[in-house]
Amino acid sequence: MKKALPSWIQAMPMGAVFTLFFAMPLLLIVAVSFWPQNEYTLEPGFTLDNYVSLFSGCFGGGESGELCTTFKTYLSTLKFCGIVWAITLVLGFTLSYFVAFHVPSLGAQTVLFTIMTIPFWTSNVIRMISWIPLLGRHGWINQTLLDLGLIRQPLEWLLYSDFSVVLAFVHLNTTFMMVPIFNSMMKIDRSLLEAANDCGANAWQTLWNVIVPLCRTGILIGSIFVITLVMGDFVTVGVMGGQQIASVGKTIQVQTSYLQFPLAAANAVVLLGVVLLIIVALNRLVDLRKEL
């Protein structure tokens, strides 16, 4: 009988992939964030000027008493993150609950779940652009409302606004919330629901006291997906916001386009820290390692 290889040898291939494609690029970004800013070349060195520039006027240095640009940008991004997270959680949970508990056939569940994930098969940019003919000043929605006499002039806030950005984010990211929640719901023992019903619990009590606690893992995983995607996104904010709405991802993209790589790296490190703090806070609510 052959002796099994030591666990550390079995883990080496995955460790090598992790180191090459995750750890090394991350360490490189951290290193570049401390390099001096040069207009034409990247020169290794060590300086805190990039972080000082990033938070300039943020700690009592402003004359008008307003928040600095960095804080405003992060607050704007966190606003989108919170709104999109709440909407995708409600939509993802509702759709998953309907398919998991109100569709009796496994085949029908598979078909419905596949239909709901079809938009995920296409490009994010194509799905965003598809909203423009609907939401534009001369789009289908405005034209219909004008024809019905419900409005006298086109609604300007439908496109290139916070509304359109949130709508696009929800459209793009609901799948990432729905899939892990649906997976958690399918693992729930149906006899627990029957026991709750036998004990006199109504539908809402069963939902809140049985289904929701057993779906905590799916909710946490979906929340991590949505939060990380929204926090670092710059394409959606640029396209649906008409290049007029600020976000951290958009700021980093602009900095790299102007070859301000050390400053962009410093901004990326701060963004990573904020996202990690949010994930740590979520993990304090649910012990993901224990649940999995």
15-64 per-position pLDDT tens digit? 888 888 888 999 999 999 999 987 777 788 888 888 988 888 777 655 55
Residue 63: predicted pLDDT: 53
Domain assignments of the chain as residue spans, ordered by start: 77-291
The phi, psi pair for 13, rounded to 5°, reads -60, -45
- Both tokens of 47, joined, read 């300086």
pLDDT over 70, % of the chain: 93
User: In Å, how far are 171, 240, 287 from 89, measured between CA atoms?
Assistant: 12, 22, 19
The pLDDT value given to residue 65: 53
Q: What is the per-residue pLDDT for 202?
A: 84
Taking CA atoms, 158 is separated from 139, 173, 288, in Å, by 10, 20, 39
Residue 251: closest CA among 275, 236, 234: 234
Question: Which pLDDT band holds residue 69 (cuts at 50, 70, 90)?
Answer: confident
CATH code of the domain made up of 77-291: 1.10.3720.10
pLDDT band for position 272 (cuts 50, 70, 90): very high
Three-state SS across 221-263? HHHHHHHHHHHHCCHHHHHHCCCCCCCHHHHHHHHHHCCCHHH
pLDDT at 288 over 70: no
DSSP classification of residue 149: T
